[in-house]
């Protein structure tokens, strides 16, 4: 499934939910399904800067695609990072760098997050794009 199809599916899933309390429950459920990262990955260098909650984000390159893994100590934040992983993980660096997460506005999430959570979400996206740029640079150099 390409990234546009993933975005359309996310938008459709949120459209099925009646209101924002129901959407928050869904976001939390997404976080509960997130594969845990190993405890040894929960180190300072993997923390996403700019998040009020602790969010650990790791990335590795496999077969030309960036694979993200993450965890958080807060339920909603963990759900948000789970959504971002679903959107960006297992994609080529150029796709990550050139595709904004438009679904955030399409589902109205930006309006329903507290300013600190919204800043944290922006920080997650920024960190994912930094990883993608680093992997793209490594690929170019080799």
DSSP, residue by residue, 44-70: GGGBPTT-SS-EEEEEEEETTEEEEEE
Active-site residue identified among 27, 30, 48, 51: 51
Annotated catalytic residue 51? yes
Looking at the annotation, which residues are catalytic? 51
């Amino acid at each position: 499934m390409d990234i546009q199809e993933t975005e359309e599916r996310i938008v459709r899933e949120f459209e099925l939910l009646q209101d924002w309390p129901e959407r928050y429950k869904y976001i939390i459920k997404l976080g509960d399904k997130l594969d845990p990262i190993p405890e040894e990955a929960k180190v300072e260098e993997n923390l996403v800067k700019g998040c009020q909650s602790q969010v650990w984000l790791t990335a590795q390159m496999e077969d030309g695609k960036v694979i993200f893994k993450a965890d958080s100590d807060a339920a909603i934040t963990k759900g948000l990072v789970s959504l971002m992983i679903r959107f960006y993980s297992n994609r080529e660096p150029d796709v990550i760098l050139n595709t904004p997460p438009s679904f955030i506005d399409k589902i109205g999430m930006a309006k329903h997050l507290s300013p600190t959570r919204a800043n944290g979400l922006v920080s997650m996206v920024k960190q994912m794009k930094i990883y993608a740029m680093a992997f793209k640079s490594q690929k170019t150099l080799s």
